[in-house]
Amino acid sequence: MSWIREGELTIIERFCANIIKAGPMPKHVAFIMDGNRRYAQKCHVERQQGHSQGFDKLAQTLRWCLNLGIREVTVYAFSIENFKRSKEEVDGLMDLARQKFSRLLEEQCFLNVCFAYTSRHEISNAVREMAWGVEQGLLEPSDVSESLLDKCLYTNNSPDPDLLIRTSGEVRLSDFLLWQTSHSCLVFQSVLWPEYSFWNLCEAILQFQMNYSALQKARDSYLEERRRQQLERDQAYVNKKLQQEGSVSRADSRRRRSLLQKCTALREERIQGFLQALEHKRADFLERLCPVSA
């Protein structure tokens, strides 16, 4: 039987889920699952037991998300900083991850796992990829933009999270999805991760709903500003071209418009070419890392 689908909501949980679902729902929720060791200490069990219950809690939380119609979940399971913990703890976490994630990922198409991840590493890697694109002549320096950086992140196939939840009472992001959460609702809850409940999740969603219109407004105005900046960059590019031709003052608006369209189409073409090359580069890297035996 499936690990995630087994067990349905109780009647009262289902009733509340239906009420919550009448409001705007987050489509993508991210979790910083924190507090496993404090939970183990509180319950006088081994640290590894705390981590194990943390993984089981993830399976249960995914079931709630599924029931609430949340289609995408991203979890922070292990940060690069976590390698600094004792060898025994890191080995134990690796074992658990191997066992539990292979089972979870078999059943899931909506779970993204950030493992051995930090956001600053992800962002600097994206910047390096764009620099590589310019170096290879695939991109013009003026193609480098926030929207291109979005496409170079590991999360490029997912929309930004609408809601980010951190448990255990810590009020920091610990280098998780720093770029992707600038317009997300951030909810910090004091419950330790292995004790997370359906009601904690509902409370976080209610906070999202209470802030929904402000979040939406901020996101829309950011996107509008981004479009405006891109247009300005394209116009500057056209002006430079006309200047080179010595025809700035003579250029009529129709010629300007057609140059602008051409410049936008060429930029799109360069970006698509670069993204394809990047995909191949990443596939080659993964192939070298874990070769598929013939």
Residues that bind ligand IPE (CB under 6 A): 32-38, 54, 76-79, 81-82, 93, 168, 170, 172, 174
Candidate list 34, 129, 143, 160; residue touching Mg ion; CB under 5 A? 34
Beta-carbon contacts of 27 under 8 Å, excluding residues fewer than 6 positions away, are 70, 71, 72, 159, 162
CB of 50 to ligand IPE, least distance (A): 7
Total binding residues toward Mg ion, as defined by CB under 5 A:
1
**From the list Mg ion, ligand IPE, none, partner contacted by residue 174 (C-beta under 5 to 8 A by kind):** ligand IPE
Q: Which does 33 bind (CB under 5 to 8 A by kind): Mg ion, ligand IPE, none?
A: ligand IPE
CB of 4 to Mg ion, least distance (A): 25
Instruction: Please identify which residue in the block is written with the tokens 């640290």.
Output: 47
Ranges of beta strands (E only) in the chain are 28-32, 72-79, 111-117, 163-166, 185-188
**Comparison of 28 and 166: residue with beta carbon closer to Mg ion:** 166
Burial (CB count within 10 angstroms: exposed 0-12, middle 13-18, buried 19+), residue 256: middle
Name which of Mg ion, ligand IPE, none residue 151 binds, using a CB cut-off of 5 to 8 Å depending on partner kind.
none
Q: In 10 A of CB 147, how many CB atoms?
A: 12
Smaller CB distance to ligand IPE: residue 34 or 160? 34
* Torsion angle (degrees, nearest 10) of CA 129, 31, 164, 194: -160
Closest approach of ligand IPE to the CB of residue 109, in Å: 22
For 118, what's the count of Cα atoms within 13 Å in the CB-facing half-sphere? 10
Between 172 and 227, CB nearer to ligand IPE: 172
Q: Interior CA angle at 123 toward 122 and 128, to 5°?
A: 100
**What is the binding site for Mg ion (CB under 5 A)?**
34
